[in-house]
Structure 1
Amino acid sequence: MINTTTALVIGASGFLGSHVVKELLRQGYNVRIMVRASSDLTALDGLSYEKAIGDVADVTSLKAAMSGCDWVFYSAVDTRAWLFNSGPLYQTNVLGTINAVNAATACNVKRFILTSSLVTIGKPKHGIADENAIPSDEELFTEYMRTRFLAEKYVLDAAKEHGFPGIACCVSNTYGADDLQPTPHGNLIKQVALGRVPVYLKAKSECVGVVDAAQALILAAEKGLIGERYIVSESYISNKELFKTAERRAGVTRLLCAVPTSLVYLCTTVIGLFARLLARDALLSNNSARLMYQTWPLSNKKAIEQLGWQPRPVKQSIEEAVDSYLEQ
């Protein structure tokens, strides 16, 4: 049977977005992408899709891209959490999402899948956090985190108040092949694989394979409940375990010891101080260090039970990432 569902992927040139395109095509869906004229589409080489040129700041281009589409996967996000001026974060992450929701409403889209973030999941008083955990103001301690929270809230509020077909997928750090930019966390794995990283942090993080995450987003469109959010993460593992997995795959042995947490905070505090004095962006800051250490384990039970999601062990995706980096 021919699949007549047409899916639009916004943010298709990114790491996760490109894998959503690949997975949709593999499953037989019709795919359209919306990208800027300047977007690098290397990650989509050789794939058969329809292309629309647009920008999330332009509602007219959003409507044109969504016209005739059944599903919209919204993965456009500004991840530059280190920006001194947070204006661009609000423009893309919040206003862009609002524009997309308005366009999807006008185009009668059947499902709108927002790629959200784990920063929108709060810390529970007891046990493992799930989708019911709402972060406090103190837990949203950067403008980047606030923009992701506000974007998700807008989509879910629109669903509950107006019947908008919105669903949020809170995706953890993604790993896998074809991370071409690469992502900040992916670049760490790349540097480890190249034998350039002798230390690791005493920290843990939620992680998931990028292919598995893409499959979860598609399952959310197929089976997800409108107005709900789903945690998309496979496991909560240590920085050391991540790096050791990458080293074993690459055949290198460079890791020596952990960096003292106090030293990390000292260095990032000094860097952040100079950045503020010079009014410049700093990739490393006290907030970025705090974000690395202030994480907690999350439950993916809802995605598994309601969507039928079956993620592979993330270590397989780490190995695929290493192979890809070494081939590059």
Structure 2
Amino acid sequence: MKTVLLTGANGFLGGHLCRELLQRGYAVRAFVRPGSDKRALDGLPLDIWTGDLREPANVRAATYGCDYVIHAGALTQVNPARSRAVVDSNINGTAAVLAAAVQADIERLIFIGTANVFGFGTRNNPGDETLPYMGARYGLDYMDSKRAATDLVLQAVQSDALPAVLVHPTFMIGPLDYKITSNSLLLALYRRQVAGIPVGGKNYVHVADVATATVNALTMGAVGESYILGNENLSYREFFSLVADVSKISKPVFSVPPLLASLIGQLSEVQLRLLGHPTRLNSAMAMVANDGHYFRVKKAIDALNLPQTPIRVAVRQAFDWFRTHNYL
């Protein structure tokens, strides 16, 4: 039986990856932070390893005896936009994982990035893996650190002959989100906390489809290649309408012009400085919402058999899970 070290195992995607790996007969060593929420792993036959990715000795010890590594561990915080912890975890943590994987001579490492490390496009001409990073203008340490971590992986492929494949999910939707990460948008809409509709949009994907393609990458795809894992390109107006239809709620009606969205973001930061606690928005988030983060995913469909579950299904399953677990 092959053993996979999975960092970030108790996260939204991590919980799905654990289940997909176990279903396919892999043994899973689940690397989790001390004191973190592990409800996503309840009842699963896992080898739980507690540690901090920023501690190289601990990461090396966790990697010992493993055949594969899936590095999903990351801090995804975008509010506040600047965070030393995000940079440290996403860059230094990745460096520690790469060094441990090289030393352990693992068969393959799968790095979980984000589609935002590539250039996005329009609905008619979406971005892909060939376009250069466009996110630096937002001033988000999350995006910048994930781009830097991606470069570290590519460098290790070249300099250390690390057999790494890089997968880059878009905006993930679905069940099992105990920490309420990307699904927070669904809950905000359900609770009528979204007053207006930004002019931009995103590419959305079912989290289980990302897990399937990621595990496929252990034996499929080419070393050193990046694959965007996504599905449907939807404007915020289209997505909000879909969510409202599935959850049987009224949807926001009014569009938020880009200048107004930017002003709201700036006022939120003033409120943060005056009151000392974060608000729901910042300037960087407003800038992102004004853009269309649209991507094409044909490369991953062809090379990794990326499924294309309709986003309506992902939204419905997320709400079903919310109801079952008393989030609504």
| TM-score of the alignment, normalized to the shorter chain, above 0.5 | yes
Structure 2 residues without counterparts, runs of 5 or longer: none
1:168/1:228 contact within 8 Å kept = yes
Q: For the residues of structure 1 that align with 2:172 and 2:215, how far apart are their CA atoms?
A: 16
Shift of 1:253: 2.6
- Aligned pair partner of 2:96 in 89, 96, 99: 99
Shift of 1:195: 5.1
Q: Quote the residue 1:299 is aligned against.
A: 296
CA RMSD across the alignment: 2.2
Shift of 1:201: 2.4
Amino acid in the other structure paired with 1:210: V
- Aligned pair partner of 2:177 in 150, 175, 179: 179
1:81/1:144 contact within 8 Å kept = yes
Partner SS for 1:51: strand
Amino acid in the other structure paired with 2:233: Y
Which contiguous aligned blocks of 4+ residues in structure 1 show a shift greater than 6 angstroms?
277-280
Shift of 1:56: 0.2
- Aligned pair partner of 1:149 in 147, 150, 153: 147
1:245/1:319 contact within 8 Å kept = no
Q: For the residues of structure 2 that align with 1:267 and 1:52, how far apart are their CA atoms?
A: 43
Alignment pair present for 1:37 and 2:48: no
Residues 225-254 of structure 1: per-residue CA shift (max 9 Å, x gap):
111110001111122222222222222234
Q: For the residues of structure 2 that align with 1:71 and 1:297, how far apart are their CA atoms?
A: 31
Shift of 1:198: 5.4
Shift of 1:256: 3.2
Structure 1 residues without counterparts, runs of 5 or longer: none
Q: For the residues of structure 2 that align with 1:285 and 1:235, how far apart are their CA atoms?
A: 26
Partner SS for 1:258: coil
Alignment pair present for 1:54 and 2:51: yes
- Aligned pair partner of 2:77 in 75, 80, 91: 80
Shift of 1:142: 2.6
Which deviates further from its counterpart, 94-103 or 254-263? 254-263
1:140/1:146 contact within 8 Å kept = no
Q: Quote the residue 1:268 is aligned against.
A: 265
The TM-score with structure 2 as length reference comes to 0.91
- Cα gap change, 1:136/1:244 in structure 2, threshold over 3 Å: closer, same or farther? closer
The TM-score with structure 1 as length reference comes to 0.91
2:235/2:292 contact within 8 Å kept = no
- Aligned pair partner of 1:10 in 7, 16, 20: 7
Residues 140-186 of structure 1: per-residue CA shift (max 9 Å, x gap):
64322211100011001110232111221111111001211201x31
Partner SS for 1:181: coil
Percent of pairs identical after alignment? 27
Q: For the residues of structure 1 that align with 2:323 and 2:31, how far apart are their CA atoms?
A: 30
Q: How many residues align?
A: 324
Partner SS for 1:200: coil
Residues 61-111 of structure 1: per-residue CA shift (max 9 Å, x gap):
111211111111111111122236521122101000001101111111111
